[in-house]
Amino acid sequence: MDLQQIKQRFGIIGNSFGLNRAIDVAVQVAPTDLSVLITGESGTGKEVMPQIIHQSSARKHGSYIAVNCGAIPEGTIDSELFGHEKGAFTGALSDRKGYFEEANGGTIFLDEIGELPLNTQVRLLRVLEAGEFIKVGSSKVLKTDVRVVAATNVKMEEAIKEGKFREDLYYRLNSVPISIPPLRDRSDDIYLLFRKFANDFATRYRMPAIRLSDDAKSLLMRYRWPGNIRQLKNITEQISVIEQQREINGETITKYLPYHSGDNLPAIIDSKAAGKEEDFSNEREILYKVLFDMKNDMNDLKKLVLDLMENGGVSDHGEHDQIIQKLYQSEDGEFVAPGGNVQPMTYSTTVSDDQNASIQDTEEFVEESLSLADKEIELIRKALDKHNGKRKQAAVELGISERTLYRKIKEYQIER
């Protein structure tokens, strides 16, 4: 059978590369007796691949048994898989054949293989390696000829590291791996699946099939579908039954798409993993920013004074006030000096009666130091003075850690 015939026979919808590749591998491995491990997220349709393998193999006339390992209690799973003798445990009133004995000559599909208890994993490994098993409560070795296909949505490498799954069993099962892509990686198939489900439910409930507007279709294809095909099918059924209108718009379909907060959030960086050096680097950058802001403020103020002197003065003090306030006014209307300290707005200029008189600046301008070290020392001393030598409070005032403040005091030999 070609690819399209297989899809039609098993009801597979979609044309994505990952899906076609998985089907192709299943068909190629079917004639052999190699064990197959199918991996994929929950709801991706992993249960179809073992049926393709079984029906395309020489065992297709034999038994096909599907077992959900996660649904069987740990205390009875050995009995279910390998059978038991009468009286082997409380409630064992007669002999019982297990799935491996019943499936002799056929195929057994072990779904959720990652949920198998470790003791059962040992028994399964013996079946895969020697084709032998022992019933619970018996000492007689039995033979079986079974093709094993397993599936899991668990990351097996992590389970092995955590000691939850045997490494030798993993490699024995994983002779041929088949990976089923999640629905979010099959965006072109989403609408095809929706239409298939909508028509199926329309036939089942005897009502017209629902249709999607362009914006609803766009939302459907952009959604991440954490529940994959199973979730899409359930939502399609809900909309088909609940909504009276057969034309579904974006606003309507949004009500049926659960929001998952982790889907669109940016990555969070663990501050503990960042290390001490990154912490120090951030503190240094903050301090540099404060210092450069102060420098820019001082330069703006000097430029203003020089402009006033070069222009021969101002007409009145009101104009001067307006310019100063525009540069250094806080939100509450107070004057903010360079560095951020709130001060009253004062200045001292002398204007003669003569219109050509020049403004005489009473303040002596001294060239400021642009050394970052000098600025750091000055800020540290001011913070220590403000808090009476209490370093912890001074560090909070400076916006740096107490450890960094200790290092700076020692480095610059600052004394109070």
DSSP 200-214: HHHHHHTSPPPEE-H
List, in order of start, the domains of the chain with CATH numbers.
3-181 (3.40.50.300), 184-254 (1.10.8.60), 274-368 (no CATH), 370-416 (1.10.10.60)
Tell me what pLDDT residue 390 has: 83
For residue 134, the cross-strand partners are 141
- CA 333 to mean position of chain CA atoms: 46
Whether the Cβ atoms of residue 75 and residue 120 lie closer than 8 Å to each other: no
Least confident of 6-10, 27-31, 144-148, 302-306: 302-306
Whether the Cβ atoms of residue 121 and residue 166 lie closer than 8 Å to each other: yes
Instruction: Report the C-alpha gap between 45 and 179 in whole angstroms.
Output: 11
For residue 211, the cross-strand partners are 247
Tell me what pLDDT residue 403 has: 80
Residues 326-373: pLDDT tens digits? 555 544 444 444 444 444 444 444 444 444 444 444 444 445 565 777
What is the reported pTM?
A: 0.62
Residues 154-192: pLDDT tens digits? 999 999 999 999 999 999 999 999 999 999 999 999 999
Instruction: Report the C-alpha gap between 362 and 341 in whole angstroms.
Output: 22
**Cα separations in angstroms, 220 against 145, 155, 164, 224, 298:** 46, 28, 37, 9, 57
